[in-house]
Amino acid sequence: MTTRDVRGRRRPLPVLLLLPLLGAPVSAMTLDDYGSPYTSAGEVQAAQKILQGDHYLKAGRYEAGRMDQGTINAVREFQRRHSIPDSGHLDRETVAQLVSHGSAVVADSRSGTGSVARANRGEGSTAAAPAGARGSEISRTTSGEGEPAPRSMPATAGPVPWMTALGAVLLGGGLLLARRRRV
Amino acid sequence: MILSRDGFRRTAGHVALIAGASLLVCAASITIRGWIWQGRHADQFATAAKSAAGAARAIGDAPAPRPPRRGEALALLRAPRLGIETVVVEGTDPRSLSLGPGHLKGSALPGAPDNCVIAGHRDGPFGRLRAAEPGDILELSGRAGDVARYRVLSVEVVGQDDTRPLEPSGEPRLTLVTCYPFHVLGRASRRFVVRAARLDDRGAQELL
């Protein structure tokens, strides 16, 4: 898979061109909208408390802070009720839904893990503001709801058409330029 | 002599090839991500509609509506005559719109007695709106299997800054917005607006 130029030096050009193409499925997967699962003991415990409060999980039937089978089943049940793919994982969407169920997760800035407080949403989001990255991410989903957004015309011109056109032009021009000149 | 003229030409060619291929890959991954997202969520609405049709629906029985979150699947939009069947995402930011037509945050929810605004890229399913005519039927199916039917009242082109179609109407309306003209690359200065009014079930029966 190499081409030989005039001076006889080997160039891995076709391989080089294939590299970005190999990236396509990878980038399509990483652009997925479900974030990495929340797995720390504090986060799991916070989720368990909310699940118990909403009767998805029975008190004493699970081990606090651990994703045991009972907890996974409760998460699955919760996900099914909320039209989330029932993976049983605490992914970003599931946590956002859990948080919206009447409880605000307030990140404990000292320990860096999430703890649940039956606080109102305004308090929750201000308290969580200086907390660690994950904690503030959880609380961000609770804030910013309800304020009326000014209605402006959405930008409905997608990037795909011009990307495709420009890409095709560059690809075609590049092929013409890179072609070996016939002697 | 580091590079001959020919060598320079070929190097420029290789750079252009790689840049072009990368852009195509970006465009493809955005499109594929949209397909994956649409495929994943379309089934949910189909099963929701089925279970709602099977169970006798009492009005007071419906769960309390919860405000949808940005990037979340909101409803299934169908326009049988135009061949549109697409999942509507909440939010009209670029990321949401790359997944499918987006519901303008702050506008009424589907079926509510106010103006529900949905905007979409013209290169997606909303490109087919160009064939829309007054009298066409639009259907919005919600997560709970509830279906709201609308009839197209008008089709018009407005300026980019004309936000009147987006304003609250006080009546159950559906407003679909996409770019105009349909074939230009890049930013568009005008918007193609389809307005529809909700049909109650009896009205739909009369019309069909």
A151–B97 C-beta distance less than 8 A: no
Is residue B98 within 8 A of residue B34, CB to CB? The reply is yes
> What sign does the dihedral A49-A52-A57-A59 (CA atoms) show?
positive
Residue A128 has pLDDT above 70, yes or no: no
CA–CA dist A49, A118 (Å, integer): 11
Over residues A105-119, the pLDDT tens digits come to: 433 333 333 333 333
Q: What is the mean pLDDT of residues A4-15?
A: 53
- The model's confidence at residue A133, banded by pLDDT at 50, 70 and 90, is very low
> What sign does the dihedral A72-A50-B91-B52 (CA atoms) show?
positive
Nearest to A27 among B29, B48, B107 (CB): B29
pTM of the model: 0.57
As averages over each run of 10 residues, the pLDDT of chain B (208 residues) reads 74 93 94 92 77 50 65 90 92 90 89 89 88 91 85 91 85 90 78 90 46
Q: What does the pLDDT read at residue A111?
A: 37
Partners of residue A159 in chain B, C-beta under 8 Å? 27, 30, 94, 98
Interface check A183 vs B, CB under 8 A: no
Residue A42 has pLDDT above 80, yes or no: no
- Please work out, in degrees rounded to the nearest 5, the angle formed at the alpha carbon of residue B12 by the alpha carbons of B11 and B14: 65
B160–A28 C-beta distance less than 8 A: no
Which run of H or of E encompasses B202?
helix B201-207
Distance from CA of B89 to the nearest CA of A (A): 12
Nearest to A160 among B12, B15, B27 (CB): B27
Give the best-scoring range by mean pLDDT among A25-29, A175-179, B184-188: A175-179
Point out the least confidently predicted range of A85-99, A154-168, B108-122, B193-207.
Answer: B193-207
Which run of H or of E encompasses A101?
none
Residue A98 backbone dihedrals phi, psi, to 5 degrees:
-60, -45
Q: Which CATH architecture has domain B53-58+67-207?
A: Beta Barrel (2.40)
Residue A180 backbone dihedrals phi, psi, to 5 degrees:
-70, 130
Paired sense of beta strands B115-119 and A114-117, if any: unpaired
Domain ranges of chain A: 41-140
Q: Count other C-beta atoms under 10 Å from residue B31's C-beta.
A: 18
How would you write B111-132 as a 3-class SS string?
A: CCCCEEEEECCCCCHHHHHHHC
Mean pLDDT of chain A: 64
Q: What does the pLDDT read at residue A157?
A: 80
Establish whether this prediction's ipTM goes over 0.90: no
